[in-house]
Amino acid sequence: MARSNARLIRFGFLAALVILCVFIISKGTSTSYVVTQSSSSIVDSSSSNVEEPVSSEQEKTEDKPASPKLAKVSGNYGGNGGLGDGKAEVPKVYVEESDPSNEKDKVNAAFVTLARNGDLYELVESIREIEDRFNRKFHYDWVFLNDDVFDDNFKKVTSALVSGKTHYGKINKDQWGFPEWIDTDKAAKVRKEMHDKKIIYGDSISYRHMCRYESGFFFRHPLMMKYDYYWRVEPGIKIFCDINYDIFRYFHDNSLVYGFTISLPEYKETIPTLWDTTKNFMKENPQYVAENNLMDLISEDSGATYNGCHFWSNFEVGDLRFWRSEAYMKYFEYLDHAGGFFYERWGDAPVHSIAASLFLPREKVHFFNDVGYYHVPFFNCPIDENLRLTHHCSCNPDKDFTFRGYSCVNRYFSVKGLEKPKGWENYS
Ligand SMILES: Nc1nc2c(ncn2[C@@H]2O[C@H](COP(=O)(O)OP(=O)(O)OP(=O)(O)O)[C@@H](O)[C@H]2O)c(=O)[nH]1
Ligand SMILES: [Mg+2]
């Protein structure tokens, strides 16, 4: 009995010792964890190049949306929770169709800008707009292309603004110059005539190289080859509304190929033979013309003549693989050899637009009614008030060009059988 008591006491003592040890160890671990954590973060921020890791880490946390699952929560207009004066409360928007924090949700896409070093400070405004309204949530890369070498200041300033990776490329001389089959005397004569007729950019050589480059080469620059989708951005543009979904993913998921915000007729004097050249191409290559295309958008007589309607290409979202396709490459070569980039002043906008309208089924072309866009002198400002408020648009709908008489978007809506937004007549 005395021996079993002693055993019990020994067992109790041992058990108490074990409990005490566990307590001390667990307390000790949590204390040292906190210390390690805080001391390591102090070491990190003081010993590293502070700006890079610390600020980018903070930005990512802030940018994370409240919850991607909060899809399409409608606004709260007045009533309980409304503004004290009874006016409609500005609704909150939670429209997330993909998780921007998730790298695997991203598609193979990049912004692309053709620019000169001298365009820098107009361009930074455009980058800021795109980043604030869209890319700070998605961090897509940005490719800058130039016929000259980008200087260090250009690279430093732009890469500080872009939240994705930045790439800078120089354009090959053979893609920014007169091709050997062009008669440069004839081209000079045309420039003189266009100058006398006061045709905008009519006397400019560099503008012609730019239009030819944007028509036939930007999508096959080595820096662009790893991407499938692009968004073209020019200096001095504005984006008016929050874009809370991944536009590139939207394009990918819906198999869209070409997206625009503004459409209007081209100056006829710059493209006198573009349509005849296109018709000859179609005759020789009927296999490239898509069924159910948008011919009726660009022609009012089933293809006999071109009405000049084109998507304004200073804004473009699209699938680069379309420009790299056999149909488009053959079309570009055909146009290039016809010489109209130099003997006239063919723009990349009508060239892209005619190709998208003829070689694509119409459902592959997309009009963005929710972005809000400006490039001097035209505005796209959503006329739907709810859309404007929920997307924090900062534009005046009275300035919207979409349904004005001169805009080709009216025709686009009727050709595609789309319903115009309520009240569009008030902005026509
Ligand atoms: N590297 C380079 N880029 C150019 C040159 N000319 C134009 N660009 C770029 O090409 C794009 C189109 O040129 P813009 O001058 O804006 O042409 P536009 O939009 O028809 O005319 P604007 O109404 O003046 O804007 C812009 O992104 C320009 O920065 C050039 O000679 N070299
Ligand atoms: Mg421009």
**pLDDT value at 4 more than 90:** no
Query: Quick count: other Cβ atoms within 10 Å of Cβ 318?
Result: 27
How many angstroms is it from 193 CA to the middle of ligand 1? 22
Taking the CA of 233 as reference, the closest ligand is 1
Mutate which of 208, 314, 315, 376 to test ligand 1's pocket (most atoms within 8 Å of Cβ)?
A: 314
Residue type, 64: K
Taking only the tens place, the pLDDT of each residue in 358-413 is 999 999 999 999 999 999 999 999 999 999 999 999 999 999 999 999 999 999 99
| pLDDT attached to residue 102 | 67
Q: Ligand 1 center to residue 44 CA distance, Å?
A: 44
Q: Do you know the residue count of the chain?
A: 428
Active site residue 59: no
CA 15 vs CA 10, 18, 216: distances in Å: 9, 5, 82
- H or E element, residue 298: helix 295-298
Please tell me the residue having the least CA distance from ligand 1 atom 28. 115
| Residue tagged active-site, from 131, 266, 316, 344 | 316
> How far lies 313's CA from each of 80, 164, 215, 259, 261, in Å?
46, 23, 10, 10, 9
Is residue 356 within 8 A of residue 294, CB to CB? The reply is: yes
Report every protein residue that has its C-beta within 5 angstroms of ion ligand 2. 234, 314
Give kind and range of the element (H or E) at residue 166. Answer: strand 166-170
Complete domains list, the chain, with CATH? 108-427 (3.90.550.10)
Is 313 near ligand 1, meaning CB less than 6 Å away?
no
pLDDT (average), residues 322-331: 98
Across the range 214-231, mean pLDDT stands at: 98
* Nearest of 345, 272, 262 to residue 309 by alpha carbon: 262
Whether the CB of 98 sits within 6 Å of ligand 1: no
Dihedral angle of Cα 65, 66, 72, 74, to the nearest 10 degrees: -130
Atom of ligand 1 nearest to the CA of 233: 27
Instruction: Give the pLDDT confidence score for residue 105 in this predicted structure.
Output: 84
Reply yes or no on whether the pLDDT at 30 is more than 80.
no
* Nearest ligand to the C-alpha atom of residue 211: 1
The torsion angles phi and psi of 387, rounded to 5 degrees, stand at -65, -45
Tell me: the pLDDT tens digits for 36-57?
A: 222 222 222 222 222 222 223 2
Q: From the CB of 347, is ligand 1 less than 6 Å away? A: no
Tokens of 233: 């951005």
Looking at the predicted structure, is the pLDDT value of residue 24 above 70? Answer: no
pLDDT, one tens digit per residue, over 257-297 is 999 999 999 999 999 999 999 999 999 999 999 999 999 99
User: Which letter does DSSP use for residue 374 in this model?
Assistant: E
Of 329 and 88, more confident: 329
> Residue 35: is its pLDDT beyond 50?
no
Structure tokens at 382: 């959503």
Half-sphere exposure of 420 (CA within 13 A, CB side): 17
Q: How far is CA 18 from CA 14, 21, 45, in A?
A: 6, 5, 40
- Give the residue carrying structure tokens 């897509």: 140
Q: What is the DSSP letter of 394?
A: -
Q: Verify whether ligand 1 is closer than 6 Å to residue 200 (CB atom).
A: no
Q: Whose CA is nearest to atom 29 of ligand 1?
A: 115
Average pLDDT over residues 61-71: 27
89 CA to centre of ligand 2 in angstroms: 37
Q: How far apart are CA 206 and CA 346, in angstroms?
A: 13
142 neighbors 223 (Cβ within 8 angstroms): no
Which of 249, 92, 101 lies closest to 163, judged by CA? 101
- Residue 104: band (very low, low, confident or very high) from pLDDT cuts 50, 70, 90: confident
Q: What are phi and psi of 112, to 5 degrees?
A: -135, 135
| Nearest ligand atom owner, CA of 204 | 1
